[in-house]
């Protein structure tokens, strides 16, 4: 583990890669008492640009004195190559939970209410739709998105099942099921919402067994990562009519190629990974950076600490 820097050194924070569009993050760090410096002089690094994740390992190799690295997203699979146990790592866990939970609720309602049919229609169509009210909802994951989504569902009277690595209680959930029992947890679900970290263990965690267990009108909603759903199994279930449909904010690969069958399937709705837009997310991320920089300078506990071994 990199030795803890002294109080003066802790104030020296780098925000990289340098770009004017990340000014809100620099402003947040300064508001917390930081002095923004070049990475070669810094005790901590706020990595700002997710599109340049591949550069981070090299930056850290050249600057071994960096003791804390702040990553911009909750999901950190693109940074797995850079993770080590020599530094403290944090991610934006829960930071974007509210807008993403709102998007998940919108997708679930739209799917159950037949919007995939009605928005494609060019003439008056037959009625279809199912209630979310009093429905059976299964959520894979127990992080900030799930916490927010449970709160949003409170007025719908849903029976909520949460799937997590260990079946520890989750406030607001009617039951909690271990990850290995997720197919059973999806039984007769009106909606299955995927909102967890992508790791080797969770890749394709929604496959044929989970889809087969759902109600035949049920919708699977993915606001996690595209790799969580086995798309071959999903298309088979959609073609067979064994589920109502799929609402996907994330796909695998991403962006989803033009001509992919999911684009035109009548029971699929796709949004282009916009459950959290920059307009929504940048202020939330800047506030997160400000809180963590203040804690770093004071030698306190940081939000969103990552376990490099587990990968989240």
Helix axes 97-112, 278-298, angle to 10 degrees: 150
Domain that holds residue 46: 7-93+278-298
Pair (154, 291) in one structural domain: no
Q: Which of 185, 191, 184 is nearest to 130 (CA)?
A: 191
pTM (2 d.p.): 0.90
Pair (229, 250) in one structural domain: yes
**CATH number of the domain enclosing 15:** 3.40.50.720
Pair (109, 255) in one structural domain: yes
The residue from 113, 273, 291, 303 that is catalytic is 273
Is residue 305 domain-resident? no
Helices (H) and strands (E) in the chain, counts: 11, 12
Pair (89, 235) in one structural domain: no
Pair (110, 249) in one structural domain: yes
List per-residue pLDDT tens for the chain, 312 residues long.
Answer: 555 677 689 999 999 987 777 899 999 999 999 999 999 999 999 999 988 999 999 999 999 999 999 999 998 999 999 999 999 999 999 999 999 999 999 999 999 999 999 999 999 999 999 999 999 999 999 999 999 999 999 999 999 999 999 999 999 999 999 999 999 999 999 999 999 999 999 999 999 999 999 999 999 999 999 999 999 999 999 999 999 999 999 999 999 999 999 999 999 999 999 999 989 999 999 999 999 999 999 999 999 999 999 889
Residue 116 token pair: 């995939």
Pair (150, 288) in one structural domain: no
> Total structural domains in the chain?
2
Is residue 1 domain-resident? no
The residue from 225, 228, 231, 285 that is catalytic is 225
pLDDT given at position 206: 98
35 sits in which H/E element: strand 35-36
pLDDT given at position 19: 73
Pair (119, 141) in one structural domain: yes
The residue from 184, 212, 254, 303 that is catalytic is 254
Is residue 244 domain-resident? yes
pLDDT given at position 8: 85
Pair (139, 260) in one structural domain: yes
Is residue 62 domain-resident? yes
Pair (13, 87) in one structural domain: yes
Q: Is 254 a catalytic residue?
A: yes
């Amino acid at each position: 583990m990199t030795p803890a820097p002294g109080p003066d050194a802790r104030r020296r924070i780098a925000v990289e890669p340098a770009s004017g569009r990340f000014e809100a993050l620099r402003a947040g760090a300064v508001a917390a008492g930081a002095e923004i410096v070049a990475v070669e002089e810094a005790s901590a690094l706020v990595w700002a640009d997710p599109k340049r994740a591949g550069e981070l390992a090299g930056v850290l190799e050249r600057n071994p004195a960096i003791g804390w690295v702040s990553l911009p997203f909750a999901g950190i699979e693109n940074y797995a190559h850079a993770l080590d146990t020599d530094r403290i790592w944090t991610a934006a866990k829960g930071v974007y939970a509210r807008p993403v939970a709102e998007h998940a609720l919108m997708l679930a309602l739209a799917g159950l209410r037949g919007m995939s049919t009605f928005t494609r229609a060019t003439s008056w169509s037959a009625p279809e739709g199912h209630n979310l009210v009093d429905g059976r909802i299964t959520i894979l994951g127990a992080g900030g998105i799930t916490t927010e989504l449970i709160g949003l569902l409170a007025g719908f009277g849903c029976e909520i099942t949460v799937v997590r690595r260990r079946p520890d209680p989750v406030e607001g959930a009617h039951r909690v099921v271990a990850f290995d029992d997720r197919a059973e947890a999806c039984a007769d679900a009106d909606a299955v919402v995927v909102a967890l970290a992508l790791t080797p263990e969770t890749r394709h965690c929604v496959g044929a067994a989970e889809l087969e267990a759902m109600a035949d009108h049920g919708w699977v909603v993915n606001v996690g990562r595209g790799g969580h759903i086995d798309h071959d199994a999903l298309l088979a279930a959609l073609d067979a009519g064994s589920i109502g449909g799929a609402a996907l904010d994330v796909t695998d690969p991403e962006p989803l190629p033009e001509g992919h069958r999911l684009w035109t399937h009548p029971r699929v709705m796709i949004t282009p990974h916009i459950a959290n837009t920059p307009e929504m997310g940048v202020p939330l991320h800047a506030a997160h950076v400000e809180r963590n920089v203040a804690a770093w300078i004071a030698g306190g506990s940081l939000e969103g600490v990552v376990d490099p071994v587990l990968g989240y």
